Amino acid sequence: MNQQVLAISAILVALGCTESTNQASHEIQVRHQQDMVYELDVIRKTDRAVVQIIEVRNGVDPSKPGATELTDIDGDGHADLRVLGGETKDGTWHKIWIYDPEEEGFVWSHTTE
């Protein structure tokens, strides 16, 4: 296997919330592929299983402190995924994936500025 693919940059976040317990449910682990392509492994904390892999083409390394976070964006009690997409002199923009409990995973939502 390609060592670059397997190189783990960092475990970034352990903030996933569930409706009833408000305890951490997921972690995001970043793997650098090549040419600004990253894979985000979504790890379920209860059994340490990788339950989803999200590929991100990004100019900002998602393993940079504060670049990736799990936070409840839509107010439904589930942590959603927000990744810093870029920074300019006028501000920042993010890529958003909303957690869908029926899919048991994150679903692409939109990009914000």
Task: Give long-range contacts, CB 8 A cutoff, 24+ apart: 14-23.
Answer: 14/45, 14/70, 15/69, 15/70, 15/71, 15/79, 16/45, 16/70, 16/78, 16/79, 16/99, 17/72, 17/77, 17/78, 17/79, 18/77, 18/78, 19/76, 19/77, 19/78, 22/77
What integer pLDDT is reported at residue 46 of this predicted model?
92
Q: Which residue has the tokens 């903030």?
A: 15
Domains and CATH numbers, the chain: 3-112 (2.40.128)
User: Beta strand pairing status for 80-88 and 68-71?
Assistant: antiparallel
**Model confidence, pTM:** 0.77
Most confidently modeled range among 2-16, 39-53, 98-112: 39-53
